[in-house]
Structures are given as C-alpha cells and as structure tokens.
Amino acid sequence: MSGPIVALTGGVGGAKLARGLVARLAPEDLHFVVNVGDDFEHLGLHVSPDLDTLLYTLSGESDTERGWGRRGESWQFLDALRGYDGPDWFALGDRDLATHVLRTHALAEGARLTEVTARLATALGVRHAMLPVTDDPLRTVIETGGEALPFQHYFVRERCAPAVTGFRFDGAERARCTPEVRAALADPDLAGVVLCPSNPFVSIDPILAVAELRAALAACAAPIIAVSPIIGGDAVKGPTAKMMDELGVPRSAAGVAGHYGARSGGGLLDGFVLDATDAALQQDLETTGLAVRVEQTLMRDLDDRIALADAVLAFLASLRTS
Amino acid sequence: MSGPIVALTGGVGGAKLARGLVARLAPEDLHFVVNVGDDFEHLGLHVSPDLDTLLYTLSGESDTERGWGRRGESWQFLDALRGYDGPDWFALGDRDLATHVLRTHALAEGARLTEVTARLATALGVRHAMLPVTDDPLRTVIETGGEALPFQHYFVRERCAPAVTGFRFDGAERARCTPEVRAALADPDLAGVVLCPSNPFVSIDPILAVAELRAALAACAAPIIAVSPIIGGDAVKGPTAKMMDELGVPRSAAGVAGHYGARSGGGLLDGFVLDATDAALQQDLETTGLAVRVEQTLMRDLDDRIALADAVLAFLASLRTS
C-alpha cells in the first residue's frame, strides 16, 4: 500500500466489506469512520447500533445466522423487562447489554465516544481504528409526512413501515469531526476513501452531514469511491430500496451513484463499484464523470468480502495513477 | 388486627419474616421500612440489594437454593463484561439487571426511589408497601482500622474479611424520612413496630440513623419489638456474629438486645424475641426492662416464617394490652 485508507460505514452491509478490508490492511493502513446517526438512548443506556455491528463483525462476535447482534446471545434481561411491563420493542440481548452498560458508564464518567469505542474494541481484539464520525450528538430523524420518527423508532419499532419523505440529522450543524477522524482524512499519504455498501440515506448521509467531514472529503487529494448497496434494483438487506421508491430516487445502483454525485460535477465520488448484475449501467454512469468498476459485490462469505476488498483497493490504486 | 404494623428490615433474614407477615396481614395492615444503606452505584446502575431481596422474596422471584438473587437467573451479561475486562466482583444476573436498569432510568427521569420501588413491586404482584426509609442518599461505610470500605466492597468484594472497627452512615444527618414512612409511623392506629432479624449494625442501624425515623419510633405509642438474628451465639447467615466479635459486643441474642436497648432504659425496644435455643437468656434480659418471648426463630420454610409472624403479632398484641 502507498498509504492508509479511510472507509465510511454504517451497519451490516458496510461491516461486511469492512471485514474484508481488515483481512488485507494492517491497522495503521485502515481507519473506519462510522455512522452515529442511529445512536439512541434506551432505558438510559447509550446504544450505538452501527458501532456495535462493526465491533461484533470485526471481533468475530456477530451472530451471522440472525444477521444482527452477538453470537451466543440470550434474552433473559428482555424477558424480565417484560415482567415489569417495560418497553421490549428494542431487543437488548444479555451479552449485548454489557457493551451498552460499559459505554454508558464510561460516557457518564466523561470519556468521549471515540475513547469508549477504542476500549471496547481493544478488549475484543479489534486492532483497526473504529472512529465515530463525531463525539457530539448527531441523531437521524425520519420524516414521514406525519410524525417525524427517531431512527430506531422507525427502523425497529415501526419495522420501516412508514413511507419516508425525507431525513433530518439533528445536531449535525453543531457537530465537529473528532480529532482522530480529522487526522485520518488530513493524512498527506491518504491513499483513498471508500463509502461502504451501506444505506446512503441513513448510514452514509449522517456521516456526510458533518460539515467538517464533508469539507475534508472535498479537499482530499486521494480518490473517493463508493460500493453500491443496490444490486439488480434491490437492497441486499434493509430499507434502502423501499426508501428510494418513496423518495422518487431511481431504485438502482445508478440512483445511488447519482445521490452521491461525481466530483467533476460538484459531487463526492471519483469512482463507483457496480455489481456484475448491473454491468449494463456502466456506460451511463461513466458519462456522469465517474470511473466505474464492475465486480461481484454480494458478500455471502469471508472469501467474498476479501475479494471485494481486493477489488476496492485495486480500483483505488488505479484511480491514484490515472 | 387493631391497626397496621410497621416492619423494619434489611435483606435475607428480615425478608424471611417479612414473607411470613404478608401471609397474615392485608396490604393496608403492613408497611415495610427498608434499609438503603447498602445501595450503591455499580457501572452507573443504582443497585438496592435489600429492596431487591425483599421484592424477590415477596414476589416469589427469589432463588431459594442459592440464597440470593432471582430464580432462573443466568450470567451472560457478566460473562460478556469479563470479555471487556469489566469489573465482575459484583454478580449482576441477566434477570436482576432488568430491575437495576429500570430503577436507574426512572431515578434519572426524576422519580423518587419510593415511587420506582412501588412500580417494580406492583408489576411483580407485591401488594404490601415496600418503603425505602429515605429517598435521600444514605450509604453505609465499614470502618476497618485501615481503609474505610463502602458496604458492598466490604460485603461482596472483600467477602467480609476485614475486621470491623465501626460504621459510618454517610448522608444520614441530611436524610429525611419519606412522607410514606412518616405517615406509617404517625398513624394513630399503629399496632406495633417489629425490627426483623436482620443484621443490627448494617441492616437496621442505617434505618435508625435517620434522625426523623428514630424520633418517630421514640414518640410512637405502639410497642416496638425486635427478633434476634443471633441464635445460639451465631448468625443464621452473614457477618453479624463476626462483627459482634470484632466490635467487642457479646456474641449472643443478649448482645443484640443490649445494642438496641430497652425503652425504659433510654433505648428503643419494648420487647425481644429469643430463639428457644437461647431461652436461658430470658431472665437476664427481663431484668434490663424488656418483655421477652421465646420462640422457634429459625425459618427453614414458609410454615416457619408464618409461625414466627404469628408469634410476633401475638407478642405485639400482648404488649398493647399490658
């Protein structure tokens, strides 16, 4: 490698590529900048779903069968909570609770979210930097025409049922990047930035809503690419495709590419990774000013993740020399 | 019954008699005033061990095999906590955690401990009032000659090993009784007060350390009795006997009676319940001004608990007419 990579990521989809990247890059060559827009307070506990998904994925603690949470999880706390008529719509597992209790306690004692995250990650053997984009409050709110919903209420309690009309990122205008994120993006050796295949609206956009982060990306000399979370007009997981329909964004990889935009047209990206299923879109996307690479982007196992990571790194290398 | 009873109690030993009393008295005829001196903050959670022991005992939720905590308990949280190198000296069970998380959250939202306790108790079907002696901070500190230890550090982390030289009840001088406790003791129909067979030094004394409570007892016309937690020179459970040795208090039921003192001699009690094993002490105790009743006080099962409750109620009735 010529220098470190920064990967912007949300939860499950992004974490899969993240897992591939850590298999290829040393800790000093890879920094994750992670969405905190879906963080929330539940029963007084600070829950950071995307940080936790990344933590559990990178440490081998994730439940790959269920697709979220920790492996070997149990639900005795939740059962006892129901015995008290407590709110059970957000499934806090017994093992997962250790993460939230320790995080909440450390934050209350004055630690930054970045510091707490580093402690938890180190304890579970994760050596690559998992950096919340900001230590300031930043909360994604889903606008639905009717009631505006905090992200987890929309995502978990309402199971993404309400039609989305827009998004708000409360706190974004006051949120600063962390010093760690700032340093990672200001590194003169930075070899590239990759937007992982996470939901553009609620996983990546809250990161980009931090003005300082957005400005750092605009100023960075390294290539910036995104991997499409849409394959063949559908999302692998989650409400991305449904949201695109509701927002009137074309439900395709091209819709995602258009959402981020090409740098040459005032947007964010130098390059875009399409799934082979969507190879037909390549030419159209190239006319928008994007370099396009067609790959197998569906990640069913670790080999897929590493292969896609290799492709991403090769794409960035090619963009640096072009 | 001629009127309601107030029972002062700490954890395990007191809760056994409490269980007997609820079998005999309607909710309007029985109020528990509970020690909060061993409450503490652990990982940011407000833990109230004596309230919880009483709650679990009265609701049938207690683990009678292990002797503490909830039945059907599991330890996944604790195991995950160890995975983070978190503090595991205090065993927080997965089911027990629901109690602490809900309590902590409600307190943070401004509820009084009395209110939170009532909500938890109601949800578990407990109909008798479980009243913390105070909603103010009151913390038992164990003086050891060397380092002074918060109660749970002494009791759980150090397993009662350090020799005790004395006790401090931090916050007692500023702590007020709750309105509920004040009303219970001011009831003109009050038929009696019983000090349950809990540790006098660290379960009952923190309650008595609240000046307003102590004054209310001194002023109350109803008889006040205690049930000895010492049988045949030993405690049924816990460090009571060890503490008596270390403090130079005679390790006997007479030592306990002397600790509380007879009302006629400026102390607290009108009567004292001795175990049959200690019947020989009766005459000496009577010379100190106490009415004495000899009973089977070891409570192995529910029948024992109810039988002792009956004896306590009969004793109080006899003292009211004497």
Of A149-153, A224-228, B310-314, least confident by mean pLDDT is A149-153
How many residues make up chain A in this entry?
322
Residues of B in contact with A108 (CB under 8 A): 44
Query: Quick one: pLDDT at residue A43?
Result: 98
> Do residue B84 and residue A108 have CB atoms under 8 angstroms apart?
no
Size of chain B in residues: 322
pLDDT of residue A98: 98
Over the stretch A257-294, which tens digit does the pLDDT of each residue have?
999 999 999 999 999 999 999 999 999 999 999 999 99
> Does A74 lie at the interface with B, CB-CB under 8 angstroms?
yes
- C-alpha distances out from residue B8 to A287, B4, B199, Å: 81, 13, 11
Q: CA A143, A149, A151: angle at the middle one, nearest 5?
A: 100
Q: Are A21 and A191 in contact (CB under 8 A)?
A: no
Whole-number Å distance between alpha carbons of A290 and A284: 9
Chosen for mutation from A51, A52, A77 (greatest number of chain B CBs closer than 10 Å) is: A77
Q: Which SS3 state, helix, strand or coil, does residue A9 take?
A: strand
Checking A47-52 for CB contacts under 8 A at 24+ apart, the result is A47/A90, A47/A92, A47/A100, A47/A152, A48/A103, A48/A113, A48/A117, A48/A132, A49/A11, A49/A152, A50/A9, A50/A10, A50/A11, A50/A14, A50/A203, A51/A113, A51/A117, A51/A130, A51/A132, A52/A96, A52/A99
The whole-number pLDDT of residue A116 equals 98
Chain B interface includes A73 (CB < 8 A): yes
Please give the pLDDT value at position B321.
Answer: 84
Tokens standing for A240?
């991305």
pLDDT score, position A2: 75
A80/B70 CB distance under 8 A: yes
Closest residue, chain B, to A82 (C-alpha): B98
ipTM for the complex shown: 0.93
The alpha carbons of chain A give a radius of gyration, in whole angstroms, of 19
Query: Tell me, what DSSP letter sits at residue A25?
Result: S
Written in H, E and C, the secondary structure of chain B is: CCCCEEEEECCHHHHHHHHHHHHHCCHHHEEEEECCCCCEEECCEEECHHHHHHHHHHCCCECCCCCCCECCCCCHHHHHHHHCCCCCCCCCCHHHHHHHHHHHHHHHCCCCHHHHHHHHHHHCCCCCEEEECCCCCCEEEEECCCCCEEHHHHHHHCCCCCCCCEEEEECCCCCCCCHHHHHHHHCCCCCEEEECCCCHHHHHHHHHCCHHHHHHHHHCCCCEEEECCEECCEECCCCHHHHHHHHCCCCCHHHHHHHHCEHHHCCCECEEEEEHHHHHHHHHHHHCCCEEEEECCCCCCHHHHHHHHHHHHHHHHHHHHC
Flag if A99 and B84 touch (Cβ within 8 Å): yes
Query: Is 70 exceeded by the pLDDT of residue B1?
Result: no
Smallest CA-to-CA distance from B86 within A76, A49, A123 is with: A123
User: Across the interface, which of A76, A102, A105 has its CB nearest the CB of B74?
Assistant: A76
Residues of chain A neighbouring B102 (CB-CB closer than 8 A): 43, 81, 84, 86
The 10s digit of each residue's pLDDT in B129-138 is: 999 999 999 9
- Overall average pLDDT of the B181-205 stretch: 97
Tell me if chain B has a CB within 8 Å of the CB of A39. Answer: no
Cα–Cα distance list, B186 to B131, B179, B191, B212 (Å)? 15, 10, 11, 11
What is the token pair recorded at A74?
Answer: 């149990």
Residue B13 has pLDDT above 90, yes or no: no
- For Cα atoms B256, B290, B26, give the angle at the middle one, nearest 5 degrees: 85
Is the pLDDT at A1 greater than 70? The verdict is no
Cα gap A116→A114, rounded to integer Å: 6
Helix (H, G, I), strand (E, B) or coil at A243: helix
Top-confidence residue, B60 or B235: B60
Average pLDDT taken over every residue of chain B = 95
Q: So what's the pLDDT on residue A319?
A: 97
Choice among A18-27, A234-243, B20-29, B181-190 with the minimum mean pLDDT: A234-243
Q: What is the pLDDT of residues B260-293, one digit of tens each?
A: 999 999 999 999 999 999 999 999 999 999 999 9
pLDDT score at A310: 98
Q: Mean of the pLDDT values across residues B194-221?
A: 96
First to last CA, chain B: 16
pLDDT of amino acid B19: 97
Does the pLDDT value for residue A245 go beyond 80? yes
Residues 6+ apart with CB under 8 A from B162: B142, B144, B145, B146, B147, B149, B154
